[in-house]
Every structure is written in structure tokens, then in C-alpha cells.
Structure 1
Amino acid sequence: MKRRNFIRSMAISGGAVVCGGISGLKPPGPAGAMRTADIIIYGGTSAAVMAAVKAKQLGRSVMIVCPELHLGGITSSGLGFTDTGNKAVIGGLAREFYHRIYLHYEDPRSWQWQKKEAYGNKGQGTPAIDGANRTMWIFEPHAAEQVFEKLIKEHNITVFRNEWLDRSSGVRLRNERIASISTLKGTLYTGKMFIDATYEGDLMAAAGVSFTTGRESAATYGEKWAGVLTGVFHHGHHFKSRVDPYKIPGKPSSGLLAGISGTAPGVYGAGDKKVQAYCYRMCFSSHPENKVAFSQPRGYDPEQYELLVRVFNSGWRELFQKFDPVPNFKTDTNNHGPFSTDYIGMNYRYPEASYALRKQITDAHRRYQQGLFYFMATDPRIPGEVQQEFNKWGLAKDEFADNENWPFQLYVREARRMVSDFVMTGHEILGARAVPDPVGMGSYTLDSHNVQRYVTSEGFVQNEGDFGVHVSEPYPISYRSIVPKASECQNLLVPVCLSSSHVAYGSIRMEPVFMILAESAATAAVMAIDNKTSVQQVDYAALKNNLVKQEQKIDA
């Protein structure tokens, strides 16, 4: 998909909105201040922070311009049980972040509710606390945010928050270069280089760079796990028993239960524009002094959760398997099972939606999960032993204090993906094809959450889209996958919504990888400025040399 003219744009609807729990956005107004820096970074994610730090370390002026009030994206918004894969290939500033987390928890004052020696030290693949390497991979949301804010302060980085890109006319290009961006407040930002560090790819899209959404077909790139995957059950996130989908069991005329699509899932291997499910990663607490009971949300409708009752009635009892422990008797609670926190099928319009529509979608996800928790805590149809155990938990009182203890950031697992001269696919991830110009490495499993919930030909409910494929060796990520085509934009780097198939993005989309690619993007941006060239013309051999000096891991 592509938009091209002198002012390239994605249309948005006007009006004041709230997004991701952050309020106060002003509607478009008269021209405001003009601000300039060598490098302008749009977005407040973990990638944005790392890109800014590296640019400043390399002697360039930099500004972060972001809609968010809180920095760090999903890393500081509930995803504390880090998806790392092979930790040996996490280097540079990303490793520095996890070292600083380690130092945070070396301070006894960080263990307010739990003694350090009582913490189970469970992590993914290795212990949470790696004393030998002085890193820690599991953490509370506020600990991550503190580390990000300290990095910003130490490097004297200017951050403009609650600044929303004017996606209709706010990106101005001259000779295939971004000259400036403007926000809905009317503020103009000019720079030599720009980095889109958002989960949505809004700057990339508004600059007219080609992108895609949804799933490619299996034929597009010859990928085994592409497109519709009916009957593929790699995780436990499917219906393992025959569960009736109708309001009155056995009676289709009664209508479908909430959350089940009435349309067919599509032909196996066919592409579509559907998006893997989103959720809020929840930070729960079991400490009596630090938990907030689950409350009934506005518009609560217990019929929305009837399908969960049938799942429990089928004998399923895996509810607590993804209550992953983080310090101080808290969790990173993620989706698990056939009916959980993933709001399947309710995010398809999100990637290209206006701010107002995204607000509606994020609000709907929040209400869905709030209602789910209240339902499990109070409804008499929940098995007694399950409900008793669930009610040991509540929202963590000392997290997200200015957002009713609810995470700031919806877990946008996938939105737009750039289409550049090099598209990362499953072939590169699984080692079948070489990458000659790596700027970072990934290693996590090929992983997608479910995309849709439908009725099978046998008349039962089933989920589709979830897959998990083992990646045996760390793999390199191409520099060309984080830069647009030269014919489209020559001073933009995209380390988050990079050029990748849906299948490959299932592995790449991990927060440590975003940090790694952001550091490499900033390094390349500085080199392009120094050499007065485009990002596409950066000398790769020199870039590789600089990344190695920065202790980035770019080959196994």
C-alpha cells in the first residue's frame, strides 16, 4: 500500500481523543512552535528511547516526539516476563537496559513486598537474575519505566509528550526526503533524519512509504506457515474439546455466542487483512496490601463470557499457566488458552484506523478484559476452586497509578509492516537464506497469536491463526529491512514496523529486538548525516564496524 504526492498522508478523523488510556489530546489548531534537531524520533516505545540514547552518544542532537506520556511502550506497560530467545545475541544498549534492571533489583529498597531470596527467579530459558552476566530479564512495569526515564535524563534528551502526528497533512517531503513533521497541536519539527519508532508505523505511512497489513498467502513468499492455518494447533490456545458455539446449544437459529465469527475462516494458506489478536499484559498482585479488587466495568455484560463457562465445563483448568511471576508477588499475565485476554477478531481495523477509531478499539479491549476479570471473580458459574484461586489476585496498587492501575499501552503485536527492497521472511528466520547486511539478530520462536474464532464444518467453535515454530539458531536481520525504498524516502528508518512478512514478524516482534534495531538505526542515521548521504547509501562495511564497536551482536 502506498500514498504519494508532495504531502503524503494517511487520513484521520478530527476531534479530541484519548488513546491507550492517555487523555488531553488537542484538536488541530493554528501553527505553533518550530523545533529542530539532527534526528527526530517519533514514538515513545523502548525502541525510541534506545535510538535517542545512541544518537546522543554519537554526538548528534535528537528529540523524541511521542503521543505517549509514559516511555517504554509495552516493556514498561506489563510485559516484564521478557521474550528473549537466545540472550547471547542481545548486545549494545538493549543489554545495558537489562543490566540496569539488574542493578535496580540489587537495591534492597526495590523489594518492598517480597524478600529477594524468596523470589522464585523463574525466567524464560535462563534464571530471571543472571548474576554471572549481571543482567535481569524479569521486572515490574515501574522498574522498566524508571530505567528508561533515567537514560533520558542522563543523556539530556528532549522529549515532547502528548504530541500526535498530523497524519493528514503533517509530513512534508522534498526530493524524497522528509523536511518536517507537524503535530495536531500545530508544532513543526524539522530534522536531517527521522526514525519511526511507533508500533503502528504512522510516520512511515504518512511519508508515503509502502506497507502492508494482515497475512500474506503461502504463495507470496513460499512460506509454510503463511496465511490461514485452520487445523494448526501449536500452542494450547485452541479448543481441545468440542464446544458448542450457539446461544442455545445445538440450535443454530439461536445465534452465535459473543466473540465467534459467523463467516468462514478462509482457504488454507490464503492471505487476508486480518490481524493477530491484541491484549493488555496485566500486572496482578497477590499481596493483600498491594492489590485492588477487580471491579465491574461500565456496560458489563456477562453474556460476553458465556463461552468461557463452556470451556470450564469441558474440563479445562489451565487458567493460571501464564501468571508468570515478576518480583514483589506480582505477575506478567498474558493470554492463555482458547478463551482468554486476547480479544480475538476485534482489532482488524486498528493498524490504519484514525486516532478516534483506535481509541474506540483500545477502550473496547480494556472493557473486555475488565469484564472478563470481574466475571471470573464473581460469576457463580465459574468453578469454585478456580474462582477461589483467582480472587487471590488483583490489580497491582503501586503500578500505573495515574491510569487506575491499568497498563498504559495495549499490546499491539502487529500493525503495519513496511515493504522495502528486502523483506524478512520465514526463510531468513529459519536459516534457509542468508542475510548479507545484518544490523542485529533475533532468535525467538516464530510466534503468532490467534487471528479469528469461527464455527467448524462439524458445528463446533475453534480458533485459527496461532502458530509456534522453533528457531534452532539465531538469525541476522537485514539493514535493508529497516530502510524504505530509495524512491520513496531517503532519510527515514523504521526499526519497529520493519519490512517483514507476517510469519517472520512473529519472531522479530520482540522488545529486545526492537531495541537492538533502534540502536542500529540511530547509528546509521548519524553516519548518513556525517557523510551527507541517504540512509540507503550508508556504507555497510563501516556501519558493521561501528556496530561491533558498540558491542552489538550482528552475527552468531
Structure 2
Amino acid sequence: MLTACTSTKKQDTIDADVVIYGGTSAAISTAVQLVRMDKSVLIVCPDKHIGGLSASGLGFTDLGNKSVIGGISKEFYEEVYKHYQNEEAWRWQPKDEYGNVGQGTTAIDDEYKTMWTFEPHVAEQIFENFVKEHNIKVIRDKWLDRENGVKTSNGKITSITMLDGTTYKAKIFVDATYEGDLMAAAGVSYHVGREANSVYGEEWNGVQKGEYHHSHNFQQLNISPYVIPGDSTSGVLPRISTEDPGENGEGDHRVQAYNYRLCTTNAEGNVVPFEKPENYDPAEYELLRRVFRGGRHSMFGGGKIPNKKRDVNNVGPFSSDNIGMNYEYPEASYDKRKEILEEHINYHKGLLWFWGNDESVPKELREDFKKWGLAKDEFVDNGHWPYQIYVREARRMLGEFVMTENEILGKNKVDKPIGMGSYTMDSHNTQRYITKEGFVQNEGDLGVEPPGPYQIHLGIIMPKKEECKNLLVPAAVSSSHIAFGSIRMEPVFMILGQSAGTLAAMALDAEISLYDVPFEALDKQLREDGQILEYKAPENTEK
């Protein structure tokens, strides 16, 4: 498939029809589609473990309407289903004891032959099987030289070079990273943070003080942010911003919070107890003590996945979302990103220790919590900690078309669909600030439901033609902040990856630009390969 073999030794130049940078689920689906259309493809990624968040803890799938998930994306969930049909897959609990509840649907869907909840190692193995079955070469632990490694000529990328000096050439490149690193290094326009509502005529973008769509806010607890409650001269507690939060609807630089989607268990024999971090500082969690004293005890949420495990996510006003500590991450250097990741890990590990040991936590909750730990059979070469932080949002391309809430809410028509989405426009908190009344509050947590599944425009994976003619971007796509809150789901990333692969293969076959592929032909090919491009609600049979 490739013009040069690969090895652990440094190579000068390696060629393929298409080079994909990144190891996410979008990267895998892109590569699979390219191989099925008889193109040579190479995945080059900084990751050692492929699959992105799907294989790094997010096993309780953010789903929406399952009927609009087709193609390779659906194949992935069909493979999950096949795996768990085998009784041997149920090592830590009988299958019939598993509560068959997913994210808005049944977890094990016998009608569709799909399963929407899964363990991380199972997802990773399915992605590895996809790679092996399609003879896809994956070169891991390769980091793009973001300063000098992208060479362009006549509006096209000609090669990309890694920090170790290895260079990769292709006719078409794909940036399948969550961060949009290749896109940015190629000089493509992008945005970080929230746009003002006025930019795209939206309602739910920008600052959203006073909007409490979930339980992840302090609301009426009226908790003082000061070291000595009520005394503003005593200093501000950790993890509370003293900056002006801005006015509603204004744009800002803030990015919705990241966390790790832990895989935890209480299955006897598979529990790795939560450990006290070396630099644990209980003062970092004083705000959480005040939450408990205020009567809010939510702390250890998460969806049930097989074998007595949980995909643990943020829950409540002070939880695993490390609010306000990720603003620099999207554009940070590799070294700075490493610092940010270490800070997030230390914060999260300290939080786990706090929940199990701090006397402000009710005794019965502490005792129950200590039955849980990290799953011993997950992330076995990484201290049982997820490989990938949950980059909910980073750079977002400013491409040929920008998806906004107006398309997702059905106000604007999409004329060139390459897939569909359906999940809530979901943004986690972006800041924790002090109100005018002198209390602490979170801001940015939203959940705005679309009226139904919506079409996703071809232009969101394509840079502006005048900026780069041979690059596709199926993850850091062209959308507003709030629209990205729905598009950013793993099933959709796989859908967009397949469509990117299809477009690239068709352009190569016809020896034309990505921008000259007739949409009618692309539409036909996508449908033939199982993509769902339109949705018709089932008729109401009630009399």
C-alpha cells in the first residue's frame, strides 16, 4: 500500500495517496473508507493507542437518535454488539444482570444489532481490528513539527514533517486530531473560544450567565467564594476566577472544561484503589466542602458499562470538570500542554482522594466510595488512567461553511449533507466566577435540544479553497461553539471521517480537486456506503 516500508528507524520520506494525522475514531473511519475505495493511506499520530475518546473512557455513548448513525460508524457499534454476545466477554458480571440502559436508548439493541455502551479496551481492540483487516499502516508516537513541519506550494500541502525529522508526502492530507494541529500549522483559519451571538445570529453562543440547564451549577446555594466566608479581604478560594465574566451574548476566549472519563469498578478482584497524590492539597477542595455543607451531595456520576464498570463523568457544581484551567490548551506548545494535562490529572486524582477521605463528605458516602476504584484490566500500561483527556473543544476551523445553531435547530437548510447529527447542543461550564451579589457561580453549561436530527454540511470539513486545497478536517470542524456542542460526538466524528475518505478517494480517482467533485456523485457514493443523509420521523400510529 505504501511506497516505503516503515520501521522503528527514522525514514527520510514516506509517501501515500492520503496521509492522516491523528489517531482518533475519525482517523480510523477515514482510513477504512479510503482502503475500501482502493487508495493507499497512512495514519501518522502522536498517540500510542488509537481510537481517541471512544477507546479512552467514553464508553457510555453520547448518542441522540440512533437511526441517523450509519456506515462505518454503525459498523463500530455492531462490532461492540458482536463482542458482548459472547458469554466469555462478561468476566465480572453475568450478562443478564447488566442494566440495559444507554444514553437515551437501550444499551444492547437487538433490533439494530448494535450496542452503545462498552469497555475502553473493547473499543480499542475493535479499532485495531479495523486497522488490521484493512492493512492500514499506523505509525505511532509521531509528533508534528508545528512550527516548521508543514510545507505548502500553490495552495496545497506538499509534505508534513515530524519532530524526529521523518517526512510524509501525499496528494491529500487529513487532520483528524481533536486539536486541529495540522490545520493550524498549514495556515488555515480557525477560532478558539465562544463567538458573540451577533456573529452568526445565534441565541446560545457567548456568555450565558443565569442559564442552568443541568445540575452542574451552584444555583441558589449562595456559597461565599472567599477564604473567610463573607470577607472579600481574606482572599479568594482556589479555582474561582476574579475576572469579569462578561455580559450575556458576548464572545470570549474561554473553552468549555475538560476532564478524564475514568473507567471505574466495584467488581471484587478488579479494583485498583484510588491513591492519594503526592502533592495533594486539601485546600484546593474547600469549595466542595461548602457544597456538601449546603446539602448537595452529587459527586460520582457516570453511565453503567459492562462488567460492573462505570464511565465516570462530571456531575454537580464541583466535580471532575477542571473549569477554567484549559484555556491555553488548544494553541499551547507540546510542553505547555503536558503541564496542563498533569495539572488536570493531579486535580482529578486529588478529587477522588477527597471524596473517599475528607471528613466533610458524609460517612456513608465515603464508605460506599471506597468500594470503588480504577479498573485493573483497563489502560494497563498507563496506571489504569485514560490515555486521552476529554478535549471537548479546541480549535474550530473557519471553513467553506460554518455550521451554527440555526442549522441544528432547523432554521436554515443544509443543501450539501454528508451525514447527520442529533445530540443536544451540549456545552460544559467555561468559567467559575464571583457574582455581583458576592457568591460563587459556574457559567457556560448548556443543553439545547434540536427539534430532530439535522443534516451536516460538506463545507464544515473543508478549509476555504483559497487557504488550502488538499486538506480535510473531520474533527476540528468548521462550526460555532454552540453548534460544535452537538457535532462533537464520537459517532458523528466517525461519520464525518468516512465522508472525508469518500471525498478524497473520488477526487483522486478523477484526478481533480476536492472542491471539484460533483456533489451529486458524492451523495450517491455516500448513500451506497450506508451513510444516512436524511431523516423521516416515523409516523405516529396512535389513534
> Post-superposition shift, 1:317?
2.3
CA distance in 2, matches of 1:365, 1:319: 17
Paired position in structure 2 for 1:4:
none
Please list, as runs of the form range in 1=range in 2, the aligned pairs for 1:159-178 lying within 5 A after superposition: 159-178=138-157
Q: Which moved more, 1:237-246 or 1:67-76?
A: 237-246
Specify the SS of the correspondent of 1:441.
Answer: strand
Tell me if the contact between 2:330 and 2:394 (Cα under 8 Å) persists in the aligned partners: yes
Displacement of 1:133: 1.2
Contact between 1:426 and 1:503, CA under 8 Å: does it hold in 2? yes
Letter in 2 for 1:452: Q
2:272 aligned with 1:299: no
Instruction: Indicate which of 450, 462, 474 corresponds to 2:429.
Output: 450
Tell me, in whole angstroms, the C-alpha distance in 2 between the residues paired with 1:86 and 1:32: 45
3-state SS of 1:113 partner? coil
- Matched residue, 1:547: 526
Aligned counterpart in structure 1 of residue 412 of structure 2, from 410, 421, 433: 433
Aligned pair partner of 1:406 in 385, 399, 409? 385
Runs of 4+ in 1 over 2 A off after TM superposition: 30-33, 317-320
* Cα deviation, residue 323, structure 1: 2.4
Match of 1:252 among 225, 228, 232: 232
Shift of 1:298: 2.5
Correspondence for 2:471: 492
Matches within 5 A, 1:98-137: 98-137=77-116
1:362 equivalent to 2:323? Answer: no
2:293/2:360 contact within 8 Å kept: no
1:313-357 C-alpha deviation (Å, 9 max, x unpaired) = 10012224x221100000000001100000000000000000000
SS at match of 2:57: coil
Map 1:383-402 onto structure 2 (within 5 A): 383-402=362-381
Partner deviation per Cα, 1:6-31 (whole Å, 9 max, x = no partner): xxxxxxxxxxxxxxxxxxxx9xxx98
| Residue identity in the other structure for 2:233 | S
Distance 1:480 1:204 in 2: 15
- The answer to whether the 8 Å contact 1:32/1:185 transfers is no
Separation in structure 1 between the aligned mates of residue 116 and residue 12 of structure 2, nearest angstrom: 41
Aligned partners of 2:360 and 2:441: how far apart in 1?
A: 22
Output the CA distance in 1 between the equivalents of 2:11 and 2:494: 32
Question: Matched residues in 2 for 1:411 and 1:319: separation?
Answer: 18
In structure 1, the partner of 2:296 is 316
- What is the rounded CA distance, in whole Å, between the counterparts of 1:255 and 1:268 in structure 2? 27
Whether 2:308 is the aligned partner of 1:344: answer no
**Equivalent-residue separation in structure 1 for 2:460 and 2:508 (angstroms):** 20
**SS at 2:235 equivalent:** strand
Question: How far 1:32 moved relative to its partner?
Answer: 4.0
Distance 2:453 2:67 in 1: 9
Determine the structure 1 residue equivalent to 2:173. 194
Q: Which of 223, 241, 246 is the matching residue for 1:243?
A: 223
**Equivalent in 257, 267, 273 of residue 253 of structure 2:** 273
Residues 52 and 62 of structure 1 are in contact (CA less than 8 Å); yes or no, is this contact kept in structure 2?
yes
Q: Which residue in 2 is equivalent to 1:47?
A: 26
What is the one-letter code of the residue matched to 2:277? Answer: P
Distance of 2:511 and 2:187 partners within structure 1? 23
**Conservation of the 8 A alpha-carbon contact between 2:179 and 2:394:** yes
% same residue: 55
Aligned counterparts of 1:51 and 1:363: Cα–Cα separation in 2: 31
CA shift digits 1:149-189 (9 cap, x unpaired): 01100111000000000101111111111111010111010
Residues 502-524 of structure 1: CA distance to partner in whole angstroms, max 9, x if unpaired? 01001000000000000000000
Deviation at 1:400, TM superposition (A): 0.3
1:392: how far off? 1.7
Please report the TM-score for the alignment, with normalisation by the length of structure 2: 0.96
Return the offset for 1:250.
Answer: 1.2
Distance in 1, Cα, partners of 2:254 & 2:243 = 13
TM-score by length of 1: 0.94
Say what the alpha-carbon RMSD is for the aligned residues.
1.1
**Does residue 264 of structure 1 match 2:244?**
yes
* Maintained 8 Å contact 1:480/1:536: no
Aligned-partner Cα distance in 1 for 2:288–2:83 = 39
Counterpart mapping for 1:465-544 below 5 A: 465-544=444-523
- Measured in 1, the distance between the counterparts of 2:281 and 2:377 equals 29
Q: Deviation at 1:531?
A: 1.4
CA–CA separation in structure 2 for the residues paired with 1:372 and 1:31: 42
SS at 2:331 equivalent: coil
- Identify unmatched segments of 5+ residues in structure 2: 1-7, 536-543
- Would the aligned equivalents of 1:244 and 1:460 in 2 still touch at CA under 8 Å? yes
- Preserved CA contact (<8 Å) 1:46 1:73: yes
- Give deviations 1:40-59, integer Å, cap 9, x for gaps: 00000011011011101110
The answer for the alignment partner of 1:149 in structure 2 is 128
SS of residue matched to 2:269 = helix
Q: Contact 2:292–2:360 at 8 Å: present in 1 too?
A: no
Q: SS where residue 338 of structure 2 aligns?
A: helix
Q: Secondary structure at the match of 2:465?
A: coil
Distance in 2 (CA, whole Å) between partners of 1:520 and 1:169 is 30
CA deviations 1:251-289 (Å, max 9, x no partner) are 111111111001110111110111000000011010120
Supply the distance in 1 between the matched residues of 2:268 and 2:232 (Cα, whole angstroms): 46
Code of the residue aligned with 2:413 in structure 1: it is: A
Q: Does structure 1 conserve the Cα–Cα contact (< 8 Å) formed by 2:356 and 2:370?
A: yes
Cα separation, 2, equivalents of 1:31 and 1:63: 16
Structure 2 CA distance, aligned partners of 1:412 and 1:137? 21
351-360 or 529-538, which deviates more? 529-538
Taking the aligned partners of 2:371 and 2:302, their CA distance within structure 1 comes to: 12
Tell me, in whole angstroms, the C-alpha distance in 2 between the residues paired with 1:257 and 1:534: 55
Partner of 1:5: none
